[in-house]
Every structure is written in C-alpha cells, then in structure tokens.
Structure 1
Amino acid sequence: MLTLVTLLLLALAGAGCAYAVLAAWLVRRGIRLGAPVPPAPVGPAPGVSLLKPLYGDEPDLARNLRSFCRQDYDGPVQILFGVARADDAAVGTVERVLAEFPGRDVALVVDERRHGTNGKVSNLVNIAERARHPVLVFADSDMLVGPDYLARVVSALEAPGTGAVTCLYRGVAVPGVWSRLAVQWIDHHFLPNVVVGLALGLAKPCFGSTIALRRDTLTRIGGFAAFKDRLADDYAVGAAVRALGLAVAVPPDLVLGHTCTADSFGALLRQELRWSRTIRSVDPAGFAGSVVTHPVPLATLAALLSGFGPGAMAMLGLAVTSRLLLQIIVGRTLNTGTKSLILGPVRDYAAFLVFLLGFWPGSIDWRGHSFALHTDGSMTAPDKAGS
C-alpha cells in the first residue's frame, strides 16, 4: 500500500513539475506589460462611474484610493466611495483623499441600508443609485492601479461581443513577513493558475479586482441585488454576463496591484482559507485537480514514505527547481524582482496546507465576521445557517 501511495505521489509531483514549467512559459508569453495604451474608440469616450465599496481602514488605503483618482481618461469620470456607516474607519481616509482632488467628480456615499448577507454587494447596491454614467466600473478597496487603468478597461469593453472586463492582479506587500508570504501566494500560485486556465480554456474568471460593464448589461443580469447573498459575487457576475452570450475580457497587458495586509499567521490563514473555500464552492472539480500545482509538498511526502529513496529525492529536487523557475519567470515578467525566493519552499508548503484545509467544511471569516458557506455558493450568518 505504501508503495502504491508513493508512486501516486511521485506521479502527481511529476505532473506538477511539468505544470510549473508550462505555467512559467505561459506567464512569460501571455502577460504583456508595458504595451502602449490602446487607441481611443472613435467618437467621444463614454462616461464612467467608478464605484469603490469600503469597509474599515487598512494599510495603504489612501494610496490605493488616490490611484483611482489620478486617471488619464478622455471622458467624464465620476468616483463614488461608499461606506455603510458614518463612523466607519475608512471615512477619515476618504475625506483626506477628497480634499486632495477638489476639481474631480468624487464623492463619499454613506448609506446604512442593508441588502442581503454580502456586505460589499449591499454597499454597491446603495452606491449604484448615485451613479450617472453608462459605464460602471467597480473594484475592491485594496487595489492599486496606474493612470491608464480606465482607458485600458474601457477600450477592452468596447470590443464587439464583450459584456464585461475583469483584471489580473499581483501582490503588493506592506511591511512584514506575513504580507510577503501573502504576495507569494498571489504571484506564484493564484496568478499562474489563472493564466494556465485561460490559455487552456479551463478558467472563466471574473475578479473583484475590477469588473467593468455597461449599465444596461447590469440591468439585464438583475442588478447588484441579484448577488446580495453570494460569497463569490464577482464570479457570479461573470457567469451571469456569460449567460447572456457575452464575453468577459481579461486584458493581458493590465495587471493590477493587490495590497496584502496580513499582519499575523492567523490573518493570513483566515484570508487564504476563505479564498480556497470560495474557489472550491464555484469549481469543485477544478479545485481538486489543482493538487498538481503543489509538486514540492507532494514530492516531500513521497520522499518520507520511501525512506528518502534516490528516486523520490530526485523528484523533490526537480520539484523545487521547477517551482523556482516559475517564481523567477513571474518576478521578471511582473518586474517585481526575485528577492523573496528564499521563502518559496516555505510558501509552497503553506499553500498545500491551505489547499487541504479547503476541503474541510466550516465557516469562513470575512472582514472579521463569520459566515456559513453553502453548497450553492450562498452564505449566511451562522445563527441563520440552519442545518
């Protein structure tokens, strides 16, 4: 039995090595940073209402919000920051940012009305009532963008047959080792997996990093209220747009920054476990198949079971090498460097632990609140979860 298990682990680790090399090649070939901004569409640029739901203060929030206010876009832009309570810790930061941009169409929306379990979607329902323009763009609070962000997003939305646009993202660290480990999960696990999935036609992503769509498209999919109880609201929006026969575009030349704010092992584990269980809820088969993206821990287990036999040790060396190759290629492609390579094996073992825990049923932690996740992707507060 041990021999069979060892052989299975070695086979999975070998597949994982091949996967890492493929991912490195596809990342290098598929992500085209530094490309010129696409030419503006013929005619006046459509007006854009940029919606930013906020909850609480967080590291680098002011910097992230400023990046959305500094857009080089030819058409009118309305920016709406939204909170559910006047005493939300984000309000002070928003007010300081508003004072820095007196000539921009920027406002803070405070609305305590609650719509469903998903607080972010509830916030969007309220903010959207103030939006004036035909193109709506909404993005999570922890995203960092460049000045050509809106121009690229709207250009992608103008393509025939496109119903929505979403964006890839990389990690941006704040001081601390836990933040750096969170960055590595995004850069060396999440991002390559998405690139491979897109290249092979296996992934149909839609991320909270950015979702841009026309107002009439949002109306056709039921508005934000249709997703008020969904954990993976971003994925659900993308699925609804595709159900209309429209595409969700992912521009390969636009990779946003995701500020990683984890300040402890517990915070890191809770966040990544929520992400892991979210992925499992929307694509259980794909989530299970992603075991091959963990060759280093798989080869390590094989080495332990084989008594550190030469074949298993050779596979472990190959696994470490293939993963380091992927990390180097990602760092060079994203211009993020390779300073944290020493954390690579540690991050790989931690990612495998999160992967295993993702199969374990239980509640999820989101912004300090606990929710029960159901098999249909909906979520409820534990006291309303039922059996």
Structure 2
Amino acid sequence: MAIQVVMVLLTLSGLAYLLLALWGARDFGRSGRTLSGFSPDVTILKPVKGIDPRMYAGFVSHCRQDYAGRFELLFGVSSLSDPAVAEIERLKAEFPDIAIRLVECSERLGTSGKVSNLVQMIASGTYDYVVINDSDIAVSSDYLTRIMSGFADSTVGMVTAPYLGRTADQGQALTLWARLEALGISTDFMPGVLTARKLEGVRFGLGSTLAMSRAALEKAGGFLPLVDFLADDYEIGVRIVGAGYRVELCPIVVETSVPGYDFRGYWDHQMRWARSTRDSRKLGYVGLGITYAVPWAFATMVASGFALWSFTLMSIVLLARVCVALAVGVGLLRDGQVLRDLWFLPLRDLTGLIFWAWSFAGDTVVWRGETFRLHNGRLTRV
C-alpha cells in the first residue's frame, strides 16, 4: 500500500507537470513579437570540428539571409588539416559576395575545444553583435532579422532560439536511437524549456542560437572563464542575466542534425546531456524525475495489481502526454517527425527516466570521442 501511494503521488506530480508544460506552450505560442526593424551589423561565429551530417546545407542557409544589415561569417578550426576546411573553401567559392573567413585557433585554452575556439575567433570579428551556433544548425532566410530584432530593447543581452532535431529520412542512418533522440528534443526537452520560461523566465542559453551584444558579453566576463565548462551555452546565459541583462527566447525554430546513433552513441549523448544538466541546475534536476509521468503511471498499475482505477489514471496521463507532444512538437516547432514517431513516446519517457536515475551514478561523460570527468560543470580529462 505504501508503494502504491508513492507511485500515485509521483504520477499525479508528473501529470501536474504536463499541464504546466501545456500552459507554457500556450503562453509561448501567443507571444509572437512584432519585428522592430532593428538590424545591426552582426558577426556569426561557427566553431567547427570535422564534418557533421547536413553541415554544408546548414552553412548555405546562413549565407542566404534576407537581412537589412551587414553580416560576416567566421569559421574557427583548431587545425587547417581539419576536413571541414575544404567545405568552408567550397562555401566561399559558392558565395563570393558574402564575407566568409576562416580562423585557425591553434591554442587549446581549456578542455572545451569549442569555447577555446570562440575565445580566439571573437577577436577577429568586426561587428558589435555576435551570433553563435553549432556547425550543423540550419536556419530560415529571416533568421537574422528575427533574432536581432530582439535587441531593440536595450535590457536584452542575449537572444536564444528553440530547435528541433532532424533525422535522416530513410536508410541505415534512420535508427531507433536517432528517432528517440529527435523525439526527445521536441517532446521532452523543449516542453521543459517552455515550462521554465513560464515559471521563472529564460535564464540560460541554448546552443542552437546564442546571440549577444559584445557589451553584454564583456560585462558577463567573456568566454575565457568558460573554457573548462561542458554546458557553456547554459553558463553564458546565466552570467549575462547576472550582469543585469535579460535573455529572450525568440519564436523562430532552427534545425540540428541527429546522427544515425547506435545504442552506445545514444547512451553517451544522453548521459552527457543529463550529467551536464545535473551539474548546472542541481535542485531543478532532482525534480526532473517526476516529469516522466507515463513510466510512473505504469508503475502505479503494477503496484495496484492492475486495478481498474489505475488504467483510468494511465489513460489520463497518456492523453496529457500526447497533448504536450502535439502542442509543442507539432504546433510550435512544426516537427512532422513527431507524428511519425508518436507511438515511441512511452519508450522515450522510459529511457529518459533511466538516464535521469543513472546520471547520479557517476561523473564521467564522453564528448567527441574523449572521456572527461565532470565536477560542478567543469571538465577534466580522465
């Protein structure tokens, strides 16, 4: 009976979270911003290492911007022998009218190669505003217009953006684990972001887009203090808020590519995300476990001996979970993959709960083939 009561309470807590997520999604969906016309000149910084799926298509999307201001595109590599260099040279040849430059970042200033590159790249930038995103991000032609419009309000120090994960359409790269990864982004991670936005405001950045003024970045301490942090996007947002600025979540969606993960790749990526979140938001992360309402509802069914009322509770939870997935994944993110993989939701939530629990069992993460130990957000090589 005691186990049954605990399971019911966890299930009801998870159901309450799903209702909050729907509330947050509704609020964000109604927060459409009128474009201010503010179009400052901007430097786009893209640290790269190796070649990612659909990377070149993402590069091209940044060159095809319908933007009133000037912009330049800087790519940072740790070595000119990196395979990405050939793709950047190809891009320069295809778009000779766009200011595209390659920056060799030969120094390794910390354990995070990405942030190390950013420290060295930003000095080569020309303009007072910078936009940073990952190498595989693809954007729409109005991306810069909508992102930079947020800086018309002088209290805004950073603008970030939601994203979805794009899998391969077919073939061997369309693995179960890639589908679970993409489904989790649109129906688990992003609802959490929107719930946090509604309850406490956006106090962090998302690596899909980190747009900021140089003034805000300098007041927040710059990139150098972050060279040993895993969740650098989260940290820079926290520090910009600490410097007295606001972070705004722009209602524009960008895409990232999801590799054809095998189980090991999926496990390593999810565990890296889980442990970085655990170290960044310690108290909030403890509460994350209750958000997996579907596994808790199933546990309630088992604990009750499959009583009729437990099936009713499971039905209500499943309805709420599907509503969140459709409202955020399809309604806000326009991610058609959610409809394709909707029936994987229980499996996705079960694996999410397992990752959450197992994240407390250690402090190592695997990042681009290297193993690190994570402590208070900082990385050290194992």
Tell me which residue corresponds to 1:291: 289
1:215-364 to structure 2, matched below 5 A, reads 215-251=214-250, 253-330=251-328, 331-337=330-336, 338-364=339-365
Residue 290 of structure 1 aligns to a residue whose secondary structure is: helix
1:381 maps to 2:378: no
Tell me which residue corresponds to 2:148: 154
Match of 1:23 among 8, 21, 24: 21
The answer as to whether partners of 1:68 and 1:145 remain within 8 angstroms in 2 is yes
Give 1:89 shift. 2.4
| Greater displacement, 285-294 / 332-341 | 332-341
Give 2:35's aligned amino acid: P
Structure 2: how far apart are the matches of 1:36 and 1:102? Answer: 33
Tell me which residue corresponds to 2:183: 184
Give 1:363 shift. 0.6
Structure 2: how far apart are the matches of 1:163 and 1:367? Answer: 30
Structure 2: how far apart are the matches of 1:28 and 1:92? Answer: 44
| Greater displacement, 91-100 / 116-125 | 91-100
Residue 361 of structure 2 aligns to a residue whose secondary structure is: coil
Give the count of matched residue pairs.
374
**Normalization by structure 2: what TM-score?**
0.93
1:39 maps to 2:36: yes
Tell me which residue corresponds to 1:109: 103
| Greater displacement, 12-21 / 74-83 | 12-21
| Greater displacement, 49-58 / 340-349 | 340-349
Residue 35 of structure 2 aligns to a residue whose secondary structure is: coil
| Greater displacement, 266-275 / 353-362 | 353-362
Match of 1:8 among 6, 9, 14: 6
Tell me which residue corresponds to 1:60: 54
Give 2:3's aligned amino acid: V
Tell me which residue corresponds to 1:385: none
Give 1:367 shift. 1.2
| Greater displacement, 58-67 / 317-326 | 317-326
Structure 1: how far apart are the matches of 2:52 and 2:340? Answer: 25
Q: Which runs of 5+ in 1 are unaligned?
A: 383-387
Match of 1:85 among 79, 83, 105: 79
Give 1:36 shift. 7.8
Structure 1: how far apart are the matches of 2:275 and 2:76? Answer: 27
Structure 2: how far apart are the matches of 1:37 and 1:98? Answer: 34
Structure 1 stretches of at least 4 aligned residues deviating more than 3 Å after TM superposition: none
Give 1:143 shift. 1.6
Tell me which residue corresponds to 2:135: 141
Structure 2: how far apart are the matches of 1:327 and 1:37? Answer: 27
| Greater displacement, 273-282 / 358-367 | 358-367
Structure 2: how far apart are the matches of 1:8 and 1:204? Answer: 32
The answer as to whether partners of 2:202 and 2:249 remain within 8 angstroms in 1 is no
Structure 2: how far apart are the matches of 1:7 and 1:311? Answer: 13
Does the C-alpha gap of structure 1 residues 300 and 282 become closer, same or farther in structure 2, counting only changes over 3 Å? same
Give the alignment's Cα RMSD to 1 decimal: 1.8
Structure 1: how far apart are the matches of 2:322 and 2:237? Answer: 33
Q: Which runs of 5+ in 2 are unaligned?
A: none
**C-alpha distance after superposition, 1:293-336 (max 9, x if no partner):** 10111111222233222233322222222211211222133222
Give 2:279's aligned amino acid: S
Residue 158 of structure 2 aligns to a residue whose secondary structure is: strand
Match of 1:124 among 96, 118, 127: 118
| Greater displacement, 317-326 / 202-211 | 202-211
Give 2:9's aligned amino acid: A
Structure 1: how far apart are the matches of 2:295 and 2:196? Answer: 22
* Identity percentage of aligned residues: 32
Structure 2: how far apart are the matches of 1:123 and 1:36? Answer: 33
Give 2:377's aligned amino acid: G
| Greater displacement, 358-367 / 301-310 | 301-310
Give 2:222's aligned amino acid: G
